[in-house]
Amino acid sequence: MSISPALTETEPIGIAVIGSGYWGPNLVRNFAASPSFHLRWLCDLDRSRAERALGRYSTVAATDRFADVLDDPAVHAVAIATPAGTHRDVALAALRAGKHVLVEKPLAASYADGLVLVEEADRLGLTLMCDHTYCYTPAVQRIRDLLGSGELGELHYVDSVRINLGLVQKDIDVIWDLAPHDLSVLDYVLPEGNVPVALSAFGADPIGAGRSCVAYLTVRLSGGGIVHVHVNWLSPVKVRTMLIGGSRRTVVWDDLNPTQRVSVFDRGVDVSAGPDLDADERRDLLVSYRSGDIVSPALLEREALRSMVEEFASAIRTGKAAATDGRSGLRILEMLEAATQSLAQDGALVPLSAAEALR
Amino acid sequence: MSISPALTETEPIGIAVIGSGYWGPNLVRNFAASPSFHLRWLCDLDRSRAERALGRYSTVAATDRFADVLDDPAVHAVAIATPAGTHRDVALAALRAGKHVLVEKPLAASYADGLVLVEEADRLGLTLMCDHTYCYTPAVQRIRDLLGSGELGELHYVDSVRINLGLVQKDIDVIWDLAPHDLSVLDYVLPEGNVPVALSAFGADPIGAGRSCVAYLTVRLSGGGIVHVHVNWLSPVKVRTMLIGGSRRTVVWDDLNPTQRVSVFDRGVDVSAGPDLDADERRDLLVSYRSGDIVSPALLEREALRSMVEEFASAIRTGKAAATDGRSGLRILEMLEAATQSLAQDGALVPLSAAEALR
Amino acid sequence: MSISPALTETEPIGIAVIGSGYWGPNLVRNFAASPSFHLRWLCDLDRSRAERALGRYSTVAATDRFADVLDDPAVHAVAIATPAGTHRDVALAALRAGKHVLVEKPLAASYADGLVLVEEADRLGLTLMCDHTYCYTPAVQRIRDLLGSGELGELHYVDSVRINLGLVQKDIDVIWDLAPHDLSVLDYVLPEGNVPVALSAFGADPIGAGRSCVAYLTVRLSGGGIVHVHVNWLSPVKVRTMLIGGSRRTVVWDDLNPTQRVSVFDRGVDVSAGPDLDADERRDLLVSYRSGDIVSPALLEREALRSMVEEFASAIRTGKAAATDGRSGLRILEMLEAATQSLAQDGALVPLSAAEALR
Amino acid sequence: MSISPALTETEPIGIAVIGSGYWGPNLVRNFAASPSFHLRWLCDLDRSRAERALGRYSTVAATDRFADVLDDPAVHAVAIATPAGTHRDVALAALRAGKHVLVEKPLAASYADGLVLVEEADRLGLTLMCDHTYCYTPAVQRIRDLLGSGELGELHYVDSVRINLGLVQKDIDVIWDLAPHDLSVLDYVLPEGNVPVALSAFGADPIGAGRSCVAYLTVRLSGGGIVHVHVNWLSPVKVRTMLIGGSRRTVVWDDLNPTQRVSVFDRGVDVSAGPDLDADERRDLLVSYRSGDIVSPALLEREALRSMVEEFASAIRTGKAAATDGRSGLRILEMLEAATQSLAQDGALVPLSAAEALR
C-alpha cells in the first residue's frame, strides 16, 4: 500500500479531526497528547463550535471548510466524528484526497455505504479504521485473551446490558446508537469457530419518539452459543455489564466497577456425558456444580482512546489492517441492518452472511 | 361456596403439606408458625425424607400414604409441593376429597391440566390457590401500589433478570423453572389496560442438557409496553432485578439488596408533543430529561410465605378468590406454553388470549 | 479430665439451652439439628416465652425451673444464652452440677467473674466454651489460614467496622454489646507474635442513653501492628467489614456480600530498604506499588453455629480445649474492661497483660 | 480592600498557576475553561515539566522564573500548587507583589506560617483562599444545607473514611496528606454551636516509612457530638464515605457512588425522655426505632474545581471572604498540628482553641 507522500518514518502523522460535537473533543484531546501525531485542524460546519472545543489557548486551527483540510499536504490522515449519515461522503472525499481515515462508529449509515468505503480504501491502499473504542479498553483486551487462549472453554453465551438515561437521537434508534459498542466488542473477542449466523431484534417506543428506545437483540453463533444485548435509552439506572459464559469459566465485565472491572468465575455447571449417549440418556446425565474462586485480574490503567489512536498510527505506518478495520465495521453494519429488518418483522430471525464472507 | 364441613369459624384450619423436597420444608415451617392453621401431616413418597424434614423433635405426623391425608377429616386443606407433573392428579384428588388446595408454581404441567383444576375447584366451591410467593413480598406489594395508583404514570417497559447458578432440572427447562416468578409478579402488578397479548422466546442449551438453560422472553402488552425476562441457570453471578419503567417514574426492584430493595427514580425522558403532530413532526419534537430524586421507601420486614399462608387462610374462610388464585396460575401457564411454542419456532411471536378470557 | 458419668462414646450428648431471648432460639435450632446432641430442655424464667420459642409442635421440654435442668442426669451440658450479668451464677451452678458449659459472649460481666468460671471448669475437668460464633464462619476460618500460613506476610493493620441500627441495650454499652465479635475474631486469627498490648477507646452518647452508643477502639499489637474497631448502634447503614492488611497481601472480609465475603488483594505498597539505612535514609527509600489480582476464594456454605455446636461436642468428647475456650473469653473480657477504663480516662492507652499470661 | 490596579470590572482576571506536579494541571484546565480568568503563566522550577503539562498546542507561557510572574502587571492572582513546605514563602511573595492568592491544601506547613499569610493578606487587603476542593462538590453543598437547615436535627456523629493505596509522601504523614479533605469538609458543614474542642490521633507506620501511613482521628465537638476520621495509605480498597448522624436523619455521602452520592436516611433511634428525668431514670427510658424512607437527592453535575475557581473570582471581585478563606485554612492547620502532638503522646486529647478565636 502507499504511504501518504509527505510522511517520513519519524515524522509525526499530520491529523485533522472532523466534527466537534460530542465525540470530536475526545479525539482532539487524544491526538494532541500522542507523540505519533501532529494535530493540525479541527473542522466543523459550525466554526465557532470548533473554536469553543479547542478553547482560548490552543494553536490548533479551527475551520468550517473541509476543503482546506483536504488540500493541506501536511494532513496525512483524518478522524471523522460527524453524524453517521455523513460518514460515507466525508470519508470518501478524504480517501480520494489520499488521506488515511478513522471513522466513528458506525462505519456508515448502511452496509452498502460501508462497503463503498472498504473497497475504496483497498483500491487506494489507504488505512480505513473504525473507532470501536471499547475494543481498546484493558478489560476487553483481557477478555479477548481469555477467550482466545481457551481458558474459558467453549463459548456458551454472552449477555450484554447497556442501559442508561440516554440522549434520544433524532436520526437513529437505540440499536444503531448503542449496540455498535456491544457488537464490536463481540466481533473483537469471539474466538475461532464462533461466527454470528442469525439475529433477531425486538424493540419498543413507549414514549412515542418515532424509533425504538428500548431494544433486545439475540444473535445465534455458529458454535451453538447465544448472544443477547439489551440497549435502553429510558433507564434511570446505568448498567454496563457483559457476561461471557464458557464451559470452563465465566467472565463478568462490569464497566462501572473501576476496582473489579473483570472477574473470572471458576464456578459453573459441569455435564458429564459419555460419547455414546442418545438424547434420552443425555437427559438423565449427571449435572454437577463447581464452586471455585473468583479472580479479578489486575488491569493496566490506560485510556482506551489513547491505545486506539496508537493503533491507528501503527496501521498507517505498517500498512497492516487495524484490529478494528473497515471490515469489522462492515460486520457490525450487517448486524445493525439485520436488526432493523427483524424489528420490522416482529422479531423474525434474519440470517447473516455477507460481511463474514469478506473477512 | 361450601366451607369444609369440619371447619368452624375459630378453629385453626387443618393442613397437610404434600412433598418434602426443596420447597415443602418452607411450607411446613410457615404453616407451623401460623395461628390460622393446625399442621397435621407432612406427606412424601419417601417417608424418611419427610421425617428428616420434620426433625427429631416434631409432633407432626410423617407419612408416605396420601390416602391417609385425604381420609383425615381434620384436614381441611392441603399444600402441594410435589413435582409439577404430578400437580394435576394430586390436586384433583384433594379437591375431590373436599380439601382446599394450595399448589406450588406452576399450577400444573400444562394449561389443559390447570384448567381442569380451576373448573373442578369452581364446581366444588373450594379454594384453589397458587403459591406465587414473590407476589407476597413487601417489595412487590409496594410496586403494585405504585403502578395501581398511577404514581409511575403509563407503563413503558418491564425488564426482569433472574440468573444464578441453578439446579438444572430434569423435567423442565429454565423458563418453566424460573420464569413463573417473573410472570406471576407481572400478572400481579400490571395495572388496568395492560394485558399480555403476544410472547416470543429464545433459548439456548449450550451444555447439552436436553433443554434450554438460558432463555429470553419478550411479552407485548396491550397498552404498548414491552416486557422482557432473562432467566439463566448457568450464570455464576446471581442477579434478581426488575426494572419497571413508567412515563412519570421508574422503579428498580433489586431483591438482593436488603437495604434498598425498591427504589423509585424520579428521572426520565419527557416528550412534549402537541396533539396535532404528524409522524415527521414527532421526530423533531423536544425530548427533555428529568433529573430528580431517588426514593427507597421503607418496607415492612415480613416473610412473604407468612403473608401467603395468611392469604390462603383468608380465602378459605371468606370464600373469596385469593390474590393468586387458580386463574392467575392459568394465565402464567398460557405464557409458559406460548414460550415453549415460540422456542420451537425460532422465536416467533405467539398470541395470548385464552387465559385472559377467563378472568 | 472427667467425662460426665452418663455419657457413653456413641450416645448423643444431652443438652439444655438456658435463655430463650434473642439468641437462645438459634441455639435450640442448631442443637436440634445436630446428631451429636440430644436436646432436652429449653429453660427460661418466663416459661411461656420458652414455649413460644419451641412452637406448638415440639417434643422438647420447656421449663422455668433451672434446678430441674441441673437435676436431670440425662443433661450433660448446658448452653447459656441469658443476659451477661447472669452468666457467672448460671454457669457456676451448671459446672458444679457437673455439666459442661457453653456461654454466650461475653463470657461474663467482668474479668474477675470470667476467671472464676475458667478456674472452676479447670478444677472440675469440665469443658467451658464461649460461643464466639463468628470464629466458626468459613470466612474467618479462611482468614485464620491466610494469616497463619504467612500468605499475607507480616500483619500491618486490622480495621473492623460493625455498625447498624442496633438495639440500644439497657445494661451494657455498644462496646460490650458488639465489640466482642470483632475482638474474638481478632483473638482467633492473630498469628504468633502478635499479642494485644494496649488499648484505647473513645465513645459518645449523643442520644443521652446513659452509655456509649458510638465507639472506637484502638489496640496496639506486640508486633507493631494496629487494630481499630468501630462499633455503632446509631447508623442506619449496616456495615460489617474487616480489613486485614499484611506486608504481602491484604484481606477484605465483607460479611454482607454473600458472593464475595473474602477477597485477597495482591496489591500494596512495597518498601525496599537496605539493612544499613539509618532513619534519615529510610525516609528517602523507594516506595513502590504492586497492582496484582484480587482473588475471592470459594468458601463452604455452612452455618457457623452448626460448626460451633460440633466444636462443643468435640471438646466434650475429647477433653481438649475448644478453639474458643474460656481463656479466649477471658482475653476478650480483659480488652472490654480496658475499653471501659479508657473511656473513663479520655481515651488514655490502657496496658493489657493479665489474660495473655494465662494462655 | 484594594483591587489589583490593572483589574477593571469586566476584564478577565489575569492568573498564573505555580507548580505543575499532581494538582497544578487540574488548576490549569479549570482556569483555562473559566471566562472569569485569563490564564497567563504556568510556572514550575522544572520548566520542561510545565511545558509537558501544557502540551504542544498551548499559548499559555511556561516559565521556571517565579519573578517573571510576580513582575507581570497583567497577573492579578496566583494559584499555588507547590509542596506544602513552600506555601508560606511563595504565597508571601505573591501577596507582597500585590497578587491575590489561592493556595492548595494545607494552607501552610504550620499554624504559625498560615497565620503570617492570613495577617499579611488582611493587611494588604488581598484575597487569600484555600483550595478545599471537596467543599465545592454538589454533595458537600447539599450536606451543608441539610445540616444548616436543621433537617438532620442535632449533630450526633460524623464518621469519615478516606482510604486507598496512596502515594506515600516523603515530607508529610497520612494525616497531613489526606485528613485536610475531611477536616475542611467538616469545617464547612458544621452548623452553629458545633465547634471542635479537642482532638486525639492514633497512627501506625507498619511499613517503616518513617511516618504514619494509617491513622485515626477523633474530634470532640462543643455540642457533644463526636467526629472520627480514618485515613490510610495502605488499603488496596478505596473507600470515601462520610456518615453524618443527626437526631432526626442521617446522611451518607459515598463519593465513589456516582448515582447515589448522597443518601438521607429517615431511620434512627428515638429517645423519649421527659425533662425531669434524673440519670437513673434516663437509663430506663424508652428507646424506639424509626424505619423510614431513604432519599437520594438529585445533585447538579458540576466539577467542584470549576465552582472553586468561580468562588475565587467572586472573592477577588467583591472583596468578601471566600467560603474557604485563609481562616478556614488556619482552623484545619490547628487540627493537623494537634494531631501531630497527640500522635507523639499516645493519643492524648489535645485541646483546640486558637483558630476558632480568629473566626
DSSP C191-252: -TT--EEEEEEEEE-TT--SS-SEEEEEEEETTS-EEEEEEESEEEEEEEEEEEEESS-EEE
Q: Would C280 be classed as within a structural domain?
A: yes
* Strand stretches in chain B, DSSP E: 13-18, 37-43, 61-63, 77-80, 100-104, 128-131, 155-165, 196-204, 214-221, 226-232, 234-246, 250-254, 262-272, 286-296, 350-351
- The domain boundary, picked from A126, A146, A180, lies at A126
Burial class for C8, CB neighbours closer than 10 Å (0-12, 13-18, 19+): exposed
Phi, psi of C77 (to 5 degrees): -150, 150
- Identify the closest residue of chain C to D291 by CA–CA distance: C236
Note whether D214 and D296 are same-domain residues: yes
Note whether A67 and A143 are same-domain residues: no
Cβ contacts of C293 on chain A, cutoff 8 Å? 295-298
Please give the distance of CA C9 from its chain centroid, rounded to a whole number. Answer: 29
CA torsion sign, D145 to D149 to D150 to D155? positive
CA distances (Å), origin D173, targets D23, D227, D241: 18, 20, 21
3-class secondary structure per residue, B159-175: EEEEEEECCCCCCCCHH
Cβ contacts of C259 on chain A, cutoff 8 Å? 294
Residue D6: the pLDDT is: 55
3-class secondary structure per residue, A263-303: EEEEEEEEEECCCCCCHHHHHCCEEEEEEEEEEECCCCCCC
Total count of domains within chain C: 2
Note whether D29 and D92 are same-domain residues: yes
Residue D166: the pLDDT is: 77
Higher pLDDT, A259 or C161: C161
Of D56, D59, D259, the CB nearest to A57: D59
Q: Would B288 be classed as within a structural domain?
A: yes
Higher pLDDT, D53 or D353: D53
Cβ contacts of A292 on chain C, cutoff 8 Å? 298
Residue C259: the pLDDT is: 86
| Cβ-defined contact of D33 to A55 (cutoff 8 Å) | yes
- Identify the closest residue of chain D to A38 by CA–CA distance: D56
| Ranges of chain B with pLDDT below 50 | 1-3, 274, 279-280, 282-284
- The domain boundary, picked from C69, C101, C126, lies at C126
- Identify the closest residue of chain D to C278 by CA–CA distance: D210
The x, y and z cell numbers of residue D319, run together, are 472583596
Note whether B104 and B144 are same-domain residues: no
Note whether C153 and C93 are same-domain residues: no
CA distances (Å), origin A55, targets B335, D37, D39: 58, 13, 12
Note whether A151 and A273 are same-domain residues: yes
Q: Which residues pair with C102 in a beta bridge?
A: C79, C129
Q: What is the pLDDT of residues D309-324, one digit of tens each?
A: 999 999 999 999 999 9
Q: Which of B243, B294, B300, B301 to mutate to test the interface with D (most CBs of D within 10 A)?
A: B294
How far apart are the CA of A65 and the nearest CA of chain B, in angstroms?
Answer: 28
Higher pLDDT, C356 or C176: C176
> Domain holding D227: CATH number?
3.30.360.10
Q: Would C310 be classed as within a structural domain?
A: no
Contact A292, A174 (CB under 8 A): no
Note whether D164 and D287 are same-domain residues: yes
- Identify the closest residue of chain A to C266 by CA–CA distance: A298
Q: If you average pLDDT over residues C116-125, what whole number do you get?
A: 98
Residue D64: the pLDDT is: 98
Q: Fill in the DSSP letter of residue D84.
A: G
- Identify the closest residue of chain A to D37 by CA–CA distance: A56
The Cα A258–Cα A240 span in angstroms is: 12
Q: Structural domain of residue D272, as residue ranges?
A: 135-302+336-358
Residue A277: the pLDDT is: 52
Note whether B217 and B84 are same-domain residues: no
Contact D15, D77 (CB under 8 A): yes
The Cα A154–Cα A194 span in angstroms is: 10
| Cβ-defined contact of B295 to D291 (cutoff 8 Å) | no
Q: Which of C142, C290, C296 to mutate to test the interface with A (most CBs of A within 10 A)?
A: C296
- The domain boundary, picked from C126, C149, C173, lies at C126
Q: What is the pLDDT of residues C237-292, one digit of tens each?
A: 999 999 999 999 999 999 999 889 999 999 877 766 545 555 445 444 556 777 88
Q: Which residues pair with D78 in a beta bridge?
A: D16, D101
Whole-model pTM: value is 0.93
How far apart are the CA of C11 and the nearest CA of chain D, in angstroms?
Answer: 47
| Cβ-defined contact of D260 to B294 (cutoff 8 Å) | yes
Residue C342: the pLDDT is: 97
Cβ contacts of C298 on chain A, cutoff 8 Å? 266-267, 291-294
Note whether B21 and B147 are same-domain residues: no
| Ranges of chain A with pLDDT below 50 | 1-3, 274, 279-280, 282-284
| Cβ-defined contact of C59 to B60 (cutoff 8 Å) | no
Subunit partners of chain D (3 or more CB pairs within 8 A) = A, B, C
| Share of residues in chain D with pLDDT > 70 (%) | 94
Residue B80: the pLDDT is: 98
| Cβ-defined contact of C235 to D247 (cutoff 8 Å) | no
Among the listed residues A263, A271, A270, A262, the one whose alpha carbon sits nearest the alpha carbon of residue A291: A270
Residue D3: the pLDDT is: 44
Cβ contacts of D56 on chain A, cutoff 8 Å? 32
| Share of residues in chain D with pLDDT > 90 (%) | 82
Q: Would A75 be classed as within a structural domain?
A: yes
> Domain holding B94: CATH number?
3.40.50.720
Q: Would D241 be classed as within a structural domain?
A: yes
The answer to whether residue D301 scores a pLDDT higher than 70 is yes
Residue D283: the pLDDT is: 45
The Cα B252–Cα B294 span in angstroms is: 10
Please give the distance of CA B199 from its chain centroid, rounded to a whole number. Answer: 18
Note whether A166 and A256 are same-domain residues: yes
Subunit partners of chain A (3 or more CB pairs within 8 A) = B, C, D
| Cβ-defined contact of A168 to B207 (cutoff 8 Å) | no
Q: Would C294 be classed as within a structural domain?
A: yes
The x, y and z cell numbers of residue B130, run together, are 397458587
Note whether C298 and C176 are same-domain residues: yes
Q: Would D341 be classed as within a structural domain?
A: yes
Q: Which residues pair with A78 in a beta bridge?
A: A16, A101
- Identify the closest residue of chain D to A237 by CA–CA distance: D259
The Cα B296–Cα B312 span in angstroms is: 30
The Cα B44–Cα B42 span in angstroms is: 7
3-class secondary structure per residue, D202-247: EEECCCCCCCCCEEEEEEEECCCCEEEEEEECEEEEEEEEEEEEEC
Q: What is the pLDDT of residues D225-247, one digit of tens each?
A: 999 999 999 999 999 999 999 99
Q: What is the pLDDT of residues C307-342, one digit of tens each?
A: 999 999 999 999 999 999 999 999 999 999 999 999
Among the listed residues A136, A213, A228, A221, the one whose alpha carbon sits nearest the alpha carbon of residue A178: A213
What per-residue string of b and e applies to D309-340 under the rule 16 or more CB within 10 Å gives b?
bbbbbebbeeeeebbbbbbbbbbbbbbbbbbb
How far apart are the CA of A6 and the nearest CA of chain C, in angstroms?
Answer: 43
Note whether B113 and B74 are same-domain residues: yes
| Cβ-defined contact of A294 to C296 (cutoff 8 Å) | yes
Longest Cα separation, chain C = 74
Q: Strand A37-43's sheet: what is its strand order?
A: A61-63, A37-43, A13-18, A77-80, A100-104, A128-131
Please give the distance of CA D348 from its chain centroid, rounded to a whole number. Answer: 25
Q: Would B3 be classed as within a structural domain?
A: no
Q: If you average pLDDT over residues D73-81, what whole number do you get?
A: 97
| Cβ-defined contact of A294 to C291 (cutoff 8 Å) | no
